[in-house]
Each structure stands twice: as structure tokens, then as C-alpha cells.
Structure 1
Amino acid sequence: VIVAVCENLLANKLISDLILILFGCSAAAQVKTSRDTKGQFLSVNMAFSVGVMSAMYLTKGITGAHLNPAVPWGRLLPYCLSQVLGAYVASGLVYLVYYDAIMDFSGGVLTVYGPNETASIFATYPSEFLTLGRSFLDQVVGTAMLMLCILGLGEKRNTPAPEELIPPIVAVIVLGISMSMSANCGAAINPARDLGPRLFTLTAGWGTEVFKCYNYWFWVPLVAPLIGGVLGTFMYLIFIDWHLPDPEPPVEPSKLSTISDKSVSITLDNMFI
């Protein structure tokens, strides 16, 4: 039974990231290979956001819809592996669907650099002017914003969002972050979202340059979001959680009966005044 439950959880992690990447990277492939004639910057951001919402609705009732290793810390290793695998498989599907378009756009040369590069369809890469330290900060801040906003959605002591509306709200948060913090290095804010597609491009013909390029930049979207997730959690605790009123303790059954008896007594007294 335990094995079956674990397999079910991991399968749901896999399908969550598969849906996310299939939406987002398909949009990126369409925009890139059409040279912006069939979509623009907004198209990719909206597609990733729709992918987030769709994956959450599909799997939220089973596993909590964890698409991002920077968010859950329990069961970290198996969750991460299944998420990376889901992103890898989705990248393969995108490649198969857009194979002809990718080859036509790139002239049959799969590369990370130049005007006809196609590696950025799958993984994130920094702008050429960006320093390593600044790109690291970019990813930390973006993920901290994501974590800070998500933690507030279910806070019963504040203004919790209705359970059924959490997926679209999270999607809007992701859209806001991606539209405001993508210029530097793509706003990965998700280690699995970047590593799975990067591993696919490594094995599909782009070669080791996907890891070596830009001074071995690949580790930034792996490490920085994890730090950003911790930072966002501390920010939520310090600036929000510690200032909210303590939750009211549940009333014991014996006290409930006493309160009920008093209410009946008061009601009867009022009836005979």
C-alpha cells in the first residue's frame, strides 16, 4: 500500500510539471520559430501561467499540486526527481511537435548562441550584459516574491482565498512575476522547470554547451530559487505571520454543552418576562 501511495504521489508530480512545461515551452517554440509573428513575450508568460493553473486544478486534490521544488521541503528528493522527469518528458514532446519548425529556424544547427539559437525555447539563459551575481539576485528575489504571495493565500487569520480560486490566483502571481522579472534571465523561479528541459537539450543535440555557456550559469536557476524560497518564507513570518492575531482555540465539547444550556435558560427566561 505504501509503495502504491508513493508511486501515485510521484506520478502526480511528474504530470504536474509535464503540463506546465508543455504549455510554456510550446508557446516559446511557437514565438521563437515564427520570429514573433505568431505570438510575443506576453504569449509565453500567459502560457506558463495557464500551465500552472491547469496543473494545480488537475492534481491539487491528490498531492497539493507541487510544481516547484523551491516550495515543498518534505519529501524533497523524490518530488524533485519526478518533477525534473516530467519537465524532461514535456520538453521531448515540444521538440517532437515543433521539430520541423526548429530545424527550419535554426538551419539544422542546434546552438545556444546567436540570432538563430533555439536552446532558450526550453531552458532559461541570461542576457549577455548580465553579471553572474546580478542574475543570482534576480532569481532569489523572484522566487521570494512567489513564496511570499503563495503563503498568504491560505492564511485563515488574514483574508484567505477560496480554495477553488487558489489555482487561478497563483497563475496570476506567476504571470505578474514573469512579466516584470523576465528580461534579465527568463524568471525560471523553479529549479525543475529549468533543469529538466536543460537536460533534454543536452541529450537532444545541443550538447554540453547548455551547461558550459555564460560561465557555467546553469547552477543559478537551481540554487537561487531554493534560497529565494527560504527568504520568502522568513519574510512572510516576520512581516505577516507574527503580526496576525492568534487563532481562537477550539471550544471543548463540555463547554459547548454548558453554553447551550445557558442559551436555552436565557431564552426561556426571556419568554416569560
Structure 2
Amino acid sequence: MGTIILSETLGTMLLTLLGCGVVANHLLTNTKGRGGGFLMVNFGWGIAVFAGVYVAAKSGAHLNPAVTLGILASGADEYAAGVDITVLNTIAYFIGEFLGGFLGGVLCWLAYRQHFDQHDNAAEKLGVFSTGPQYRNVTWNLVTEVIATFVLVFVILFFAGTPSGLGPLAVAMLVVGIGASLGGPTGYAINPARDMGPRLAHLVVPIKGKGSSDWGYSWIPVVGPIVGGVVAGLVAMLVKNAIG
């Protein structure tokens, strides 16, 4: 369990540090990359995934509870990297993923501390750490997150046969594509740990004028990705059984 927790913590920490960092660079006052645009954010998150996957290779680099649950739902005999499926190992993945998300959020705040202090928009400060919808509607926000996470997990489950060196790059480009294609309505959390961990960091760290952490919305980027991941695992199992 210790190896899983350490590996997933480090990988998810890098994922959220770089991912939240590109959002901070785009949004906050007087950064070098201010106003870089949503496509810059998409590529930044893709590179963040690339770095996190390499660092967490020892544990199979789930970095995302939706991926962990998708693997379980797919009926795979074992996790990537030869880690057996057990209740304790699943809990270890969750611990590492959420802890890494929290630590990455804290490190992002430290890197951009002066810019947070100079920025006046509380909603944009929260947007560095966590996602939020353009139009707040429980049903349709959930639908968006379910669909986007389904794409992520379903495609990842079909990466198993690709050359090992392609894995991180393939997942990175997949995340860029999901962001560019499906990220507009909700900011594409597609990962409960990526949203909840940094949101907790936003709650804890002393950000000047930070405002609310928007806990009323916070369950949607948790439940939506979990549902999308599990459905992707079940559909992948059916498809693989059907096509052999």
C-alpha cells in the first residue's frame, strides 16, 4: 500500500501543480501568460498529465479515482504495473490521488502567491483550483462530466496494447482533446481528485480575498466523473468481450 500511496501522491501532485499552474498563469493579474486562452489551458493540463503519468508509473499512474474505478468495473484481473485488485489497494489509490491533488494545489498557491494577492476576482481565484460551470444546472453539468470522463476512461482502457513509451503521451493528448472538445460547459474536471484536492487547498491556504470554495457545486465534479468512469469500465468490458 505504501508504494501505491507514494507513487500516486507524487504523480497527482505534479498533475495538479502544473494543471492549476497553467490556469493561474492564464487568469491571475500580471502573470507572464495572462490571457493565454483556453487552448493554452488545455495543453497545460495535457503536459501536466504527461508528467504525472511518468512519475507515477510504478503504481500504474491512475492519478484519478474515476480511472481506478473504471479499471475495477472493466473486470480486469489486475491493475496496471502488476498491482493486485484488493479493497486495501483501491483505498490506497484514493488516498494518494486526493492527497496529491491537495498538495499540488498548495504548491500552485505558493508559486503564484504574489499574483493571488494582487488579483481582485474571487471567482477566478477559485477557478485556479477547481472547476465551475458556465451555466449552473445540476442535471446538465452532471451529464457533461459523465460524458467527458467516459471518453477519458474508455479510451485509456484500450491503451493497454500500445507500446509502453506511448502511454503518457497518448493520455496527455487525449486530455488536451477532451478539454478542447468537451471542456467548455464545466471546465472538464473529469477527475474527482483533481477538483476536490485543490478545492480543499483553496479552503485551507490564506489567500487574500478568496471568497467561497463553492461547496454547493463541489459534488458534481466528484459524482459525474465516478459515474462516467464506472460506465466506461462496464462498456469497455462488454466491447472487449464482444470483439474478443
Aligned residue number for residue 67 of structure 1: 63
Q: TM-score, normalised by structure 1?
A: 0.76
If asked which structure has higher relative contact order (CA below 8 Å, sep 6+), I would say 2
Q: Rg bigger for which structure?
A: 1
Alignment partners' CA distance in 2, 1:149 and 1:105: 38
Q: Of residues 141, 145, 148 in structure 2, which corresponds to 1:142?
A: 148
Structure 1 spans left out of the alignment, 5+ residues: 1-5, 155-159, 246-273
Aligned residue number for residue 127 of structure 2: 120
Deviation at 1:57, TM superposition (A): 1.7
The answer to whether the Cα contact below 8 Å between 2:4 and 2:92 also exists between their aligned partners in 1 is no
What is the Cα-based RMSD across aligned positions, in Å? 1.9
Say yes or no: does 1:76 pair with 2:90. Answer: yes
Q: TM-score, normalised by structure 2?
A: 0.85
The answer to whether the Cα contact below 8 Å between 1:18 and 1:89 also exists between their aligned partners in 2 is yes
Deviations 1:43-66 (A, max 9, x none): 111111111111212221x11111
Aligned residue number for residue 194 of structure 1: 195
Deviation at 1:111, TM superposition (A): 2.5
Superposed, 1:163-242 pairs within 5 Å as 163-205=164-206, 209-212=212-215, 216-238=216-238, 240-242=239-241
The answer to whether the Cα contact below 8 Å between 2:122 and 2:211 also exists between their aligned partners in 1 is no
* Stretch of structure 1 that moved more, 85-94 or 13-22: 85-94
SS at match of 1:218: coil
What is the letter of the counterpart of residue 230 of structure 2? Answer: V
Say yes or no: does 1:244 pair with 2:231. Answer: no
Say yes or no: does 1:18 pair with 2:13. Answer: yes
SS at match of 1:209: coil
Aligned residue number for residue 133 of structure 1: 139
> Following superposition, which runs of at least 4 residues in structure 1 exceed 6 angstroms of deviation?
none
Alignment partners' CA distance in 1, 2:14 and 2:136: 30
Aligned residue number for residue 48 of structure 1: 45
Identity percentage of aligned residues = 29
Alignment partners' CA distance in 1, 2:175 and 2:156: 10
Alignment partners' CA distance in 1, 2:103 and 2:230: 28
Deviations 1:127-154 (A, max 9, x none): 1x23111000111111111111111111
Q: For residues 7 and 237 of structure 1, do their structure 2 counterparts lie closer, same or farther at Cα, with a shift above 3 Å needed?
A: closer
The answer to whether the Cα contact below 8 Å between 2:6 and 2:96 also exists between their aligned partners in 1 is yes
